[in-house]
Structure formats: C-alpha cells, structure tokens
C-alpha cells in the first residue's frame, strides 16, 4: 500500500517539476531561445529558466543542484523561486546571483548543499549578452560567420551557498547575426557509453558545429539524438540540461512580413 502511495506522490512531484521547468519559452524579435532537461532519475536537480525583463531584455539562467533525486528536486524548486523573485527586482545577472545567494545561503548551509548557476541577459536590440557565473561551466559560443567554437570569455564566481555576501562580476560580449550560445550542465559531457567512455566536450562541439545553420529547436533535438546514439541505452547517471540562444534577424523579418501591422 505504502509503495503505491509513494509512487503516486513521486509521479506527482515529477509532473509539478516538469511543468515548472517546461514553462513558457519567450519569443522576441532578433533571436530565439529554447531549453530542455532530461532527469537521470524520476525527478532531477538541474534547472533552467527564462525571464523577460521590462526593458525588453531576456534573462536566462541554468543551474545544477548538488545531489540527486527528491532532495535535489526540492532544492531546485527553492532555486527557481529565488531566481524568479531576484529577476524581478535586480538590474543585472551579477545582482541576480548575489540576491539568489543571499536568499538561499542559509538553507543550503543547513542542507550541506550548493548550486552552480550561470545567469545571462540578452538585449535583442543591440545583441549584447551580459553574464555572471556562480561556479558553473562556461557556455559554448559558436560564431555564425565561420562556425568557430570557444567558451564564453571567463568570469569567476563562487557557487551559490558557498559563502555569504558574494558580489558576482559580469562580462559582456557583442553577438553577431547567426551567433549561437549553448548553455549546458555537465550531465551532457559526462554521459557514458557501454565502454565506459564519456561523451566529452569535443563530441558536443562537433555536433554543434554540424548543426549551426539550423534553428534552436532543431539543434537541441540533434544534440539529444547524438547523446542517445552515443550512450546506446546506458542509463544516464546525471541530469542532462541545455539552453540554446541564437541571434539573427531572419526569423524576426519573416514574422513581421506575415503579421498584420498594428497602427
């Protein structure tokens, strides 16, 4: 009897989590974003979110809670609440991470846990991406012009829950037409196949370069397919989460051509 009740509650928790994670993806002129997360267990501790700001920018966050399963999922919900309230009241990605650290620090210390987070603001009008980092791996930056790939310029910051009263530094870069930024958690590069080999960043880069001209939804699907082909049925040990951001006028132009002009 207990098992059935427990199973039902776990399924309910999973549904709540996936509906929160798979919230509304913002649409905006001058670019597109997409995100997806595949938990290793029934429920996971990875997190991504989008928050449209009143100034027209889009705030993006991706994170990884230490731990697995239900405890990590509970912390992920806390993290989401902290992001939503911080995004509402802060001016920049660095300030958002500082506010989240202040909000979560005590709880994370009590639970002997922490969260790595990467937060970025895109201004679609200028193509400027500003970002701050709390111990997370740096996103990959694929240039539309020549398909060269590099990590975003480094910016350091301690993971959320590490120390109180943290100030997170910010870096800004100018994105050009068709540039893509790929945010991810380490479950992707650490996915293993039957030989015990890891998927690794080189394979990820190759997949991104091969799919660079496509839209974000298609790139995301091809990355997932590539991971599944590689692992070939080996159960994943860690949650797999990614967010794609692509800047470009093509989509915006097509939309504005087809949509009625409001005067």
In a domain, 260, yes or no: no
Name the pLDDT band for 13 (thresholds 50, 70, 90). Answer: confident
- In angstroms, what CA-CA distances link 79 with 51, 184, 255? 14, 17, 35
In 133-261, where does DSSP find H-type helix?
A: 200-210, 216-231, 250-258
pLDDT of residue 257: 33
Treating both helix axes as pointing N-terminal to C-terminal, what angle do 200-210 and 216-231 enclose, rounded to 10 degrees? 140
In a domain, 255, yes or no: no
CB 255 within 8 A of CB 236: no
Residue 50 dihedral angles phi and psi, to the nearest 5°? -125, 145
Residue 74 dihedral angles phi and psi, to the nearest 5°? -65, -40
In a domain, 117, yes or no: yes
Asked whether the CA dihedral 207, 247, 151, 93 is positive or negative, the reply is negative
- Of 104-113, 134-143, 224-233, 252-261, where does mean pLDDT reach its minimum? 252-261
Number of domains into which the chain is organized: 1
In a domain, 72, yes or no: yes
Domain that holds residue 239: 2-20+30-250
Assess whether pLDDT exceeds 70 at residue 255: no
| Mean pLDDT of all residues in 94-100 | 98
Under DSSP, is residue 191 helix (H, G, I), strand (E, B) or coil? coil
Under DSSP, is residue 139 helix (H, G, I), strand (E, B) or coil? coil
pLDDT > 70: percent of the chain = 92
Find tokens 């991406």 and name the residue: 129
Pairing of strands 140-142, 58-65: unpaired
In a domain, 206, yes or no: yes
In a domain, 141, yes or no: yes
User: pLDDT tens digits for 165-202?
Assistant: 999 999 999 999 999 999 999 999 999 999 999 999 99
In a domain, 100, yes or no: yes
In the chain, where does DSSP find H-type helix?
A: 2-21, 69-89, 93-110, 200-210, 216-231, 250-258
Name the pLDDT band for 256 (thresholds 50, 70, 90). Answer: very low
Residue 172 and residue 94: Cα distance in Å, rounded?
A: 11
In a domain, 73, yes or no: yes
Assess whether pLDDT exceeds 90 at residue 109: yes
Concatenated DSSP letters of 97-111 = HHHHHHHHHHHHHHT
User: pLDDT tens digits for 67-78?
Assistant: 877 788 889 889
CB 242 within 8 A of CB 36: yes
CATH number of the domain that 60 lies in?
3.60.40.10
Residue 63 dihedral angles phi and psi, to the nearest 5°? -150, 165
CB 120 within 8 A of CB 59: yes
115-123 sheet: strands from edge to edge: 46-52, 58-65, 115-123, 128-134, 171-174
């Amino acid at each position: 009897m207990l098992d059935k009740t427990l199973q039902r509650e776990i399924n309910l928790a999973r549904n709540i989590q996936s509906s929160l994670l798979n919230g509304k993806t913002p649409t905006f002129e001058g670019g597109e974003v997409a995100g997806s997360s595949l938990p290793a267990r029934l429920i996971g501790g990875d997190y991504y979110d989008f928050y449209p700001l009143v100034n027209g920018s889009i705030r993006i966050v991706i994170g990884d809670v230490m731990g697995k399963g239900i405890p990590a999922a509970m912390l992920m919900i806390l993290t989401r609440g902290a992001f939503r309230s911080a995004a509402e009241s802060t001016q920049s990605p660095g300030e958002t991470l500082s506010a989240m650290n202040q909000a979560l620090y005590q709880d994370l210390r009590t639970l002997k846990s922490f969260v790595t987070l990467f937060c970025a603001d895109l201004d679609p009008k200028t193509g400027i991406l500003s970002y701050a980092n709390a111990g997370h791996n740096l996103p990959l930056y694929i240039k539309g012009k020549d398909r060269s790939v590099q990590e975003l310029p480094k910016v350091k910051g301690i993971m959320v829950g590490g120390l109180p009263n943290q100030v997170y530094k910010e870096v800004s870069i100018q994105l050009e037409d068709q540039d893509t930024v790929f945010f991810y958690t380490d479950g992707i590069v650490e996915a293993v196949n039957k030989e015990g080999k890891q998927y690794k960043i080189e394979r990820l880069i190759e997949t991104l370069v091969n799919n660079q001209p496509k839209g974000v939804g298609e790139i995301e699907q091809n990355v997932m397919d590539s991971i599944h082909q590689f692992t070939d049925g080996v159960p994943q040990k860690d949650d797999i989460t990614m967010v794609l951001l692509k800047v470009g006028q093509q989509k915006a132009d097509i939309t504005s051509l087809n949509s009625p002009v409001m005067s």
